[in-house]
Amino acid sequence: MAAQDWQALSRLTAGAPFEIERIRLTSQDVAIEGRFEVPPLATLPADDQVFVAAFVRCHGSIKQMEQFFGVSYPTIKNRLNRIGALLPFAEIDPPAEADRPSPGDLIARLERGEMSVNDVLQQLRPTTAGARAFQASGERESDR
């Protein structure tokens, strides 16, 4: 079976949550089965994924993005803000520790059905998760 374009997957899922259950390493002809979460960027619609890739290729230059897409600064900023709201894994302005609910409060909310287990776990994670994810990607200060 030939590989399908990633945009076909984006169209098929139409923004609905999904998991990957099988992965095949083509260079080794090995398949791995299990339940894998999809990275947040992969859950974006195809056009937003292209927009994010262009933003990275432009080194975050909104001026270059304006030229590339032929739109105004406010249009680029509005789209970046909209996409950013869809990607909660990196908090730029994390809440102060005093503003965070205590573990006891979170458990009580879980017991009352006000929160899911994943929501509670997300709240319990340190606010520097984005920094740790960046470091885990292999990027080092000396690499920049």
What is the number of residues in the chain? Answer: 144
Q: What pLDDT digit, counting tens, does each position of 70-127 carry?
A: 999 999 999 999 998 888 766 666 556 666 788 888 888 888 888 888 888 888 876 5
Instruction: Flag whether the pTM goes above 0.85.
Output: no
C-alpha span between 66 and 75 (Å, rounded) = 8
Both tokens of 141, joined, read: 């200060």
26 burial level (CB within 10 Å; 0-12, 13-18, 19+): exposed
140 DSSP β-pair partners: none
Q: Where are the domains of the chain?
A: 6-86, 97-138
| pLDDT tens for each residue of 12-70 | 887 777 788 888 888 888 888 888 888 888 888 888 999 999 999 999 999 999 999 99
> In sequence order, which residues have a C-beta less than 8 Å from that of residue 23 and are 6 or more positions away?
31, 32, 36
Q: Quickly name the fold that domain 6-86 has.
A: Arc Repressor Mutant, subunit A (1.10.10)
**Of residues 33, 126, 27, 41, the one with CA closest to residue 84:** 41
Q: Is 90 in contact with 136 (CB distance < 8 Å)?
A: no
